[in-house]
Amino acid sequence: MTNHQFTLPDGFLFGASTSAHQTEGNNVNADWWAFEHRSETVVHETSGDAADSYHRWREDMDLLADLGFNAYRFSVEWARIEPAPGQVSQSALAHYRRMLQGAHDRGLEPVVTLHHFTSPRWFAERGGWTAPDAAEAFTRYTEAVAPVLDGLATHVATINEPNMLALIHTALRQGGVPADLHHLEPDEQITTAMIEAHHAAKATLHSAQPGLRVGWTVANQVFQAEPGAEDACRAHAWPREDCFLEAARGDDWIGVQAYTRTRVGPDGPLPIPDAAERTLTGWEYYPEALGEAVRHTAEVTGGQVPVLVTENGIATSDDQRRVDYTTAALTGLAQAMRDGIDVRGYLHWSALDNYEWGSYAPTFGLIAVDRDTFARTPKPSAHWLGSLARSGRLPG
């Protein structure tokens, strides 16, 4: 293995990711919480206390730092910061400021997401991203967060997986969140609103804190055309992924989030072959997705936007399979970097076993969380990945 290792550049961010709703617990003022608790909800399990990270974030950060990581991606929660329109909670802002300071004190570079799938209930009730003043409301929230970042955060993501949000919105309109979002049409109005909101938030952040590096994080589907279906594949990919990547030209960085692939034939996405190994989310085990997503992202963004891998991982109860998957994914990443793609970080999804949008069953975490006591136990994969981070090398 030693002969084949790839030395990472100085300053490479190596760590793990979480999001607020999936880990904090009792995010009662968020639209997702309302959705989980509707009488006709399609959600299997509610988020409840999640991993109780709102109270246990110090423990989470201690573990990540002790494991050898130098970066932690987490999100701040709009529904806590602005519980009613225009009413900013100083206590919530102080909470996130303490988290940012806590990350610094432990040698963890924070990568902060402003919007990770959840919005305040009031925002959703007014039409969410389809409301005429959606971008303005998001910008106002961004302005409230900007001072909290001062001197403690460099990398900020405006919106997580806007391309998934555009699909989720279509699914919700049709009455549920189907496991397979690929056959849905993304909501164009939401796409346009989110691109506008992203650009407005970026401008706000740059003027409030000129040193900030602002980007957004796109779910890379790794669309693969079957022979003869190249045009159909490009047409399928544009509204579901590429228009969001294209909108990131000119950003300070772009977040790549990759897990699996989607094969596309002349009539659209193809089913996963019966013989393929599947993970706990039902996705095909396909670790090559990461290297391919990074290359595709660099191509669509014109090769000028530095890449941060902000999510990559596997839902499995077999921790050795997590190591296998991640070894292969990082080997592909190293190859892409060797070929000249400017990759500045790798943040594994996820730091903790957490709420996977309707169920706790798909376990993505490097660290197990006891659902009753919230006790954290790093898995062997956490020690393995942490020691890679410490060594400053990637396999491959």
Provide the binding-site residues for ligand IFM, judged by CB under 6 A: 19, 22, 161, 257, 311, 349, 356
Q: Tell me the backbone φ, ψ of residue 39, rounded to 5 degrees.
A: -65, -35
Report the nearest approach of ligand IFM to the CB of residue 311 (Å): 5
| Nearer Cβ to ligand IFM (93/256) | 256
**Residue placing its CB nearer to ligand IFM in the complex, 191 or 354:** 354
Buried b (16+ CB within 10 A) or exposed e, 296-333: bbbebbeeebbbbbbbbbbbbeebeebbbbbbbbbbbb
Cα dihedral 167, 168, 172, 178 in deg (nearest 10): 90
DSSP 84: B
The 3-state DSSP class for residue 42 equals coil
Shortest Å distance, C-beta 223 to ligand IFM:
17
From CA 111, how far away is CA 108, in angstroms rounded? 9
Q: Residue 374 burial by CB count (10 A; 0-12/13-18/19+): exposed, middle or buried?
A: middle
The residue (of 8 and 308) whose beta carbon lies closer to ligand IFM is 308
CA dist., res. 164 & res. 186, Å (int): 8
Tally the C-alpha atoms within 13 A of residue 263's C-alpha that lie toward its C-beta.
Answer: 12
* Nearest residue (CB) to ligand IFM, 142 versus 257: 257
Q: Please report how close the Cβ of residue 16 comes to ligand IFM at its closest, in angstroms.
A: 12
Q: Which of residues 252 and 356 has its CB atom nearest to ligand IFM in the complex? A: 356
> Which one, 162 or 386, has the nearer CB to ligand IFM?
162
User: Is 136 annotated in the active site?
Assistant: no
DSSP state, 268?
E
Radius of gyration of the chain (CA): 20
H/E stretch holding 235 reads: helix 230-237
Whole-angstrom distance, CA of residue 293 vs CA of residue 326? 15
- The string of DSSP letters for 103-135 reads HHHTT-EEEEEEESS--BHHHHHTTGGGSTTHH
Nearest approach, Cβ of residue 134 and ligand IFM (Å): 21
| Least distance from ligand IFM to the Cβ atom of residue 357, Å | 6
Peptide bond into 17 cis (omega under 30): no
d(CA 254, CA 60): 26
Question: C-beta of 160: minimal distance to ligand IFM in Å?
Answer: 6
- Smallest distance, ligand IFM to C-beta of residue 321, A: 16
Alpha-carbon distance of 224 to 262, in angstroms, equals 6
- Between residues 48 and 265, which has the closer beta carbon with respect to ligand IFM? 48
Assign residue 282 a region: left if phi > 0, alpha if psi is -120 to 50, beta otherwise? left
Catalytically annotated residue among 161, 241, 292, 356: 161
**Least distance in Å: CB of 127 to ligand IFM?**
23
Q: Residues near 230 by Cβ (< 8 Å), separated by ≥ 6?
A: none
Nearest to ligand IFM of 53, 257 (CB atom):
257
Enzyme catalytic residues: 161
